[in-house]
Amino acid sequence: MKIRIMIYGTGVLVYLCAILVTMRFTLPDMARFVWFLAAYLLIGLDVFRKLGENLMQKKFLTEYTLIILATVGAFGVSRYTEGVLVMILFELGMIFEAYSTDNAKRSIESMINIRPEYATRKVRGKEFKVDPSALKIGHTIVIRPGERIPVDAVVTSGTTSIDTKALTGESIPENVWPGEKIYSGCINLSAAIEAKVTALYVDSTVSRIMEMVEDAQNQKAESETFVTRFSRAYVPIMLICSLAVMVYPPLTFSYGNWDTWIYRGLIFLIIACPTGLVMSVPIAFLGGIASAARHGIVVKGGNYLEDLAKADTFIFDKTGTLTEGVFRVTEVKAVGMSEQELLRIAAHVECHSNHPIAQSLKEAYQGEIKETKVYRMREIPGFGVNATFEGQRIYIGNKRLMERQKVECDEVRQNGTPVYVAVGDRYAGYILIADTVKEEAKSTLQYLRDRCRAVLVMLTGDTESAGREVAKELQMDYAYTNLMPEDKLEQLEDFMGLQDGGERLVCVGDGINDAPVLARADVGIAMGALGSAAAIEAADIVLMDDELPRIVDAIKIARETLRVVSQNITFAMVVKVLILILAAVGYFGMWEAIAAEVGVMFVVILNAVWVVRYQV
């Protein structure tokens, strides 16, 4: 950027010197031509480079083609001063656009770049500062107050408060104790702790988020694609119109007046350049992505903002999305053993799982859990888990898991989620788990109903009694229960089949079993950067905490972004058509045309940049 500005400044200096010399001395036309040509080539170096890149990609008719034809034409009719000035102002607009884009990208990175600079590894009682990327799973790290957590880990020693604001947007610090997970990018506040690394740096939460932000800056929205397609049709039409202005009048009603009409045709070409239009749309979407990042929302591309603004069907997972995901054991029914023994078995088998149901089982047991007694643990999405515990294969999950293992079990009709337990092929009983609806769920869904006229759907693998109760409380339009991941995908396809071309479907979830539907939906929203890695990777938008109102914030930002895009396109087109007409009939000279085009370009770019500061 600095080199580009230096070359541009040198060209402007040469241009000013050429004007001063020609005003003071009478120079031969060839000397004037060479002097102004040198300034023209220096100033337009970047324009010629971009034209060359377009030609290599077989893009022959672009705004760069128009501006070079117009300025070369001005040289052809000896309008050297005006021809160079056109290039000066055009390149100035390009530099301003590049600066605005870089500034927006830096804004995003400053809000999201929470990557730690170093990690402190502990080996045999000694501490070493290392690069976070050098850490391996199982390494012990020390995090002191004020330091960022370098990688995802589990606390092994010490208690402290963690500032998660940079990651989740939540201003209230979280307290952590031994056994709890901590995530890269958060800041340790109150005391030194030791932790065991659970993920490589490249797989840690902060790295995944940064990758998503960087990818988002390269994604094109539908409106951007429209502008690109529009330019391909627009440029040849404008070329034909400018030729008509140059040729038709001298051959008909203004016979022989070639100089006047060629000059007007060149002015027509300058005004016709769609620079402001082409620049403003991607900057507006980049601004929308930056604004979303400021509110704790990672959007992987501008196209997802556009789709979100058009959404009219919202499909939600239940557990952890619409409900708190904080389960409590409400009933234990054991068969052939005591209730405490059933809880002991279930808590041990689930000890390596972070699922909310597993946490509730461990809390209900309250006894010591010996993880070394559990091995060969396997999670089966849509069914449950199984593991070997004290020499026996234990199966814990829903009724489908029992049917799969050909184990006869009780039919539970109480409200809640029954967790069935089988020891080998013998039924051992069930544990009933209850969940609660999130406080903010009702207000969020009410907004979607009132402001988006949305159809609200719940897809869950939970039982019919538990699912229907939540759906009734939240007034969902449709609720489907007892679904496997493939069943959820099938239901999603059915709803997508009912959409027309202008409608969009949004899916919201947080678990690994939600990953297929998040990937398939027009817009997939993952609840919480601390949730399932598969869900985060599959989603198009990631909410940095588990707050449902963030969906409303994202919709407001998306709509504001599209409003700015629409304003820019309308303003640029109306002004351009008006000036084209005035130029064709002779009311606009080349100087006025240059000022008008640059003015339009600056207005739409400034309007687009404003989106970054939008407050929901």
Side-chain-side CA neighbours of residue 370 (13 Å) = 5
Distance (Å, rounded) from C-alpha 518 to C-alpha 538? 6
Whether 261 contacts 249, CB under 8 Å: yes
Tell me the chain's radius of gyration from C-alpha atoms: 32
Q: In 3-state terms, what secondary structure has residue 493?
A: helix
Q: How far is CA 371 from CA 159, 255, 362, 392, 450, in A?
A: 22, 96, 12, 15, 50
Distance (Å, rounded) from C-alpha 420 to C-alpha 407? 10
Q: Which residues of 290-325 are buried (b: 16+ CB within 10 A; e: fewer)?
A: bbbbbbbbbbbbbbbbbbbbbbbbbbbbbbbbbbeb
> What residues contact residue 285 under an 8 Å CB cut-off, 6+ apart?
221, 223, 224, 302, 305, 306, 561, 565
Whether 605 contacts 97, CB under 8 Å: yes
Q: Characterise 495 by phi-psi region: left (phi > 0), alpha (psi -120 to 50), beta (else).
A: alpha
Element spanning 321, H or E: none
Q: In 3-state terms, what secondary structure has residue 557?
A: helix
Question: Beta strand 119-123 with 140-143: parallel, antiparallel or unpaired?
Answer: antiparallel
Task: Tell whether the torsion through CA atoms of 303, 304, 308 and 310 is positive or negative.
Answer: positive
Question: Catalytic: which of 163, 307, 317, 553?
Answer: 317
Distance (Å, rounded) from C-alpha 64 to C-alpha 49? 10
What does DSSP assign to residue 273?
A: -
Q: How far is CA 116 from CA 120, 143, 205, in A?
A: 11, 11, 12
Q: How wide is the angle at C-alpha 404 spanned by C-alphas 391 and 470, nearest 5°?
A: 105
Which amino acid appears at position 67 of this protein?
I
Q: How far is CA 403 from CA 244, 271, 394, 414, 606, in A?
A: 78, 73, 15, 20, 63
- Extract the tokens encoding 602: 């600056």
> What residues contact residue 129 under an 8 Å CB cut-off, 6+ apart?
118, 119, 120, 121
What does DSSP assign to residue 25?
A: S
Distance (Å, rounded) from C-alpha 575 to C-alpha 598? 12
Catalytic: 317?
Answer: yes
Which amino acid appears at position 444 of this protein?
T
Q: Which residues are known to be catalytic?
A: 317
